[in-house]
Amino acid sequence: MKSSKHKKKDLLLDIQNISIEGFSDEIWHPIIKGVNLQLYRGEVLGLIGESGAGKSTLGLAAMGFVRTGCRFTSGSINFNGQDLTKLSDKKKQQLWGTKLSYVAQSAAAAFNPAHKLINQTIESSLSHKLETKEILLKDAVQLYKEMQLPNPDEIGERYPHQVSGGQLQRTMTAMAMSSKPDLIIFDEPTTALDVTTQVNVLATIRSIVKEHQTAAIYITHDLAVVAQMADRIQVLRYGDTIEVAKTSQMLKSPKEEYTKSLWAVRSIKKKEQKSKEIILRIENISASYGSGPKVLQDININFPTGRTVAIVGESGSGKSTTARTITGLLPPTQGKVIFQDRTLPMKLSDRSKEDLRKIQMIYQSPDTSMNPRHTVREIIGRPLSFYHGINKEKNTDKVLELLDMIELDESFVDRLPEELSGGQKQRICIARALAAEPDLIICDEVTSALDQIVQEGILKLLLRLQHELKISYIFITHDIATVKAIADEVVVMHQGLVVEQGSKKDIFNPPHPEYTKLLLSSVPEMDPTWLNKVLEK
């Protein structure tokens, strides 16, 4: 960790009272409201906040860049003695890719699919004529080595689609380092990665930044991640600074209520309960998409009645595919789905309305799982009329009752999805599932797209509903904290296989199979020394 006494001449970036507005719905809205930010040479500043807090906008502003449809309204951004808000585009272009670099959230989207990695890595240094091509190529390979990429000599010859997400993210960091910049902006660089991949990327980013004494702004919504990376943390909310402090101090004794509430979800701990009755049993299920490889291989899982089974695993582990075979959306190539002691037909179209009613689904993204032109009344009313024959005229009472269950009042009845916040949308999706009066609800990553505090609300709601209505849940997630919060039983999946299943207590306490151990140890913890400890092991 850096010493707290910075000399004035070491001040690299000094943002004073910056305000940024964005244009939408025919008016200018404030996005950043007079924020100050200081960064010293070689220092890493963590910028943390929920979606819409203005983290990315502020991060880009540190480079003097605003996205199309946004503008600076006041304040100054002093980088190395130059006010970036007053520089011409030409002048800023000379800084970008030389003194200032950017690492974007999704490496898969931020690399141009049409060019080789090596050409994209050295492109900025080459176009700014920092070095000859030969030297840059050599440097790039050296950086690939430092980023611990496999085959550093050859990987540059590949196209972006030919390497994995974690490798791409590391390549992008190498690209940002290529010009030996004074400042790198990391915009959620590991958010799109799996936890086991994230650990390595975090470690390489941290070591390369230290090695080259580069200053960095590290943007993330994940406190545990920022605790590993940053010397200081600045918390943003609604475009305003809530709190700035050194990392250790911020973690030990956060001053503001809001900062404290960012820990919230980690405080829910459901006591696990057992149930002898089995509502759903899947036996020897295998499945594949089209004629492709097997996505599920011989899966057996028991789901107890009135309890929550969390299926946990990384992307591509077959969690969602399991849900699709249970609902019949993807008929398995072999195996049985036994629901309430009766084997269900494989195909959705062969199942009776009653079968369909009893198993409902809630999806990850409430934005795309609701018809944007239907009002809340229509969205909730549809299963009412489909399953229970309650027609439009008579359904108002029932809709209001359901809204009450999900803790929304009657003013929501005639709203469209776009008039709801992310958490409210997900509540409507829950109400829609409840309207069918199901026995089993499959929740597929229902909290992943939501902010911490909103997540907490949704999880509490789901727990309360389970308690009141005795519904069984299958809870698909990649987030271990969520599992701890809500599950009774846990199933760990990896590459289409069930690695381990059992009660929450058994799964989270050793001994673990190899993969579970890796998965559990990869989940970042608040302790700033966590990453060091993991790497030591």
Partner 1 sequence: MSNLHPIISTLLKRIGLGIISLFFVTLIIFSSVNLLPGDFVESVLGQTRTEESVKIFRKELGLDKPYHIRYVNWLTSAIQGDLGSTFSGRNATYANQPQQSTARSVSSLLKPRLFNTFFLAAMTAIIAIPLSLLLGITAALYRNSIYDRTVNASALTTISMPEFFVAYILIIYLASINQFFPSLSNVTSSTPFFERIYLSVLPALTLTLVTVAHMMRMTRASIINLLSSPYIEMARLKGISKTQVIIKHALPNAWAPIANIIAFNLAYLIVGVVVVEVVFVYPGVGQLMVDSVIKRDIPVVQGCALVFAVTYILLNLIADVISIITNPRLLYPK
Q: Does 316 bind partner 1 (CB under 8 A)?
A: no
Q: Does 65 bind partner 1 (CB under 8 A)?
A: yes
101 vs 220 by CB, closer to partner 1:
101
Q: How far is the CB of 111 from partner 1 (least distance, A)?
A: 6
102 vs 475 by CB, closer to partner 1:
102
The three-point CA angle 66-67-73 to 5° equals 40
Choose one: 77-85, 88-96, 217-225, 486-494; the region binding partner 1 (CB under 8 A).
Answer: 88-96
Q: Does 66 bind partner 1 (CB under 8 A)?
A: no
- Residue from 110, 400, 481, 518 that binds partner 1 (CB under 8 A)? 110
Taking CA atoms, 426 is separated from 29, 351, 531, in Å, by 26, 27, 34
Q: Which helix (H) or strand (E) holds 476?
A: strand 472-477
Q: How far is the CB of 499 from partner 1 (least distance, A)?
A: 26
Give yes or no for a contact between 443 and 475, defined as CB atoms under 8 angstroms apart.
yes
Choose one: 141-149, 156-164, 365-373, 374-382; the region binding partner 1 (CB under 8 A).
Answer: 156-164
The Cα–Cα gap between 171 and 148 comes to 10
- Residue from 17, 74, 94, 151 that binds partner 1 (CB under 8 A)? 94
Looking from the CA of 258 toward its CB, the CA atoms found within 13 Å total 15
Looking from the CA of 36 toward its CB, the CA atoms found within 13 Å total 4
Beta strands 70-79 and 11-24 are antiparallel
DSSP 3-state assignment of 507? helix
| Beta strand ranges found along 2-107 (DSSP E) | 11-24, 27-40, 44-48, 70-79, 82-83, 100-103
Q: Mark 116-145 with x for binding to partner 1 (rule: CB under 8 A) and - for no binding.
A: -------xx--xx-----------------
Q: How far is the CB of 96 from partner 1 (least distance, A)?
A: 3
Q: Does 114 bind partner 1 (CB under 8 A)?
A: yes
Among residues 327, 331, 330, 332, the alpha carbon closest in space to that of 297 is found at 332
Choose one: 106-114, 386-394, 444-452, 459-467; the region binding partner 1 (CB under 8 A).
Answer: 106-114
Q: What's 287's DSSP letter?
A: E
Q: How far is the CB of 349 from partner 1 (least distance, A)?
A: 31
The Cα–Cα gap between 117 and 304 comes to 49
Q: Mark 157-176 with x for binding to partner 1 (rule: CB under 8 A) and - for no binding.
A: -xx-xx------------x-
The three-point CA angle 106-112-116 to 5° equals 115
Among residues 524, 455, 520, 531, the alpha carbon closest in space to that of 494 is found at 520
Choose one: 108-116, 276-284, 327-335, 505-513; the region binding partner 1 (CB under 8 A).
Answer: 108-116
Choose one: 104-112, 197-205, 209-217, 505-513; the region binding partner 1 (CB under 8 A).
Answer: 104-112
89 vs 536 by CB, closer to partner 1:
89
Q: Does 93 bind partner 1 (CB under 8 A)?
A: yes
- Residue from 2, 29, 86, 115 that binds partner 1 (CB under 8 A)? 115
Q: Mark 174-193 with x for binding to partner 1 (rule: CB under 8 A) and - for no binding.
A: -x------------------
Q: Tell the burial category of 353 from Cβ atoms under 10 Å away from its Cβ (0-12, 13-18, 19+).
A: exposed
The Cα–Cα gap between 110 and 108 comes to 6
Q: How far is the CB of 172 from partner 1 (least distance, A)?
A: 8
Choose one: 18-26, 105-113, 302-310, 451-459; the region binding partner 1 (CB under 8 A).
Answer: 105-113
Q: Does 51 bind partner 1 (CB under 8 A)?
A: no
Paired strand residues for 492: 312, 500
Taking CA atoms, 413 is separated from 233, 389, 434, 465, in Å, by 41, 20, 16, 20
Q: Does 96 bind partner 1 (CB under 8 A)?
A: yes
Residues that bind partner 1 (CB under 8 A): 60, 63, 65, 67-68, 92-98, 101-102, 104, 106, 109-115, 123-124, 127-128, 158-159, 161-162, 175
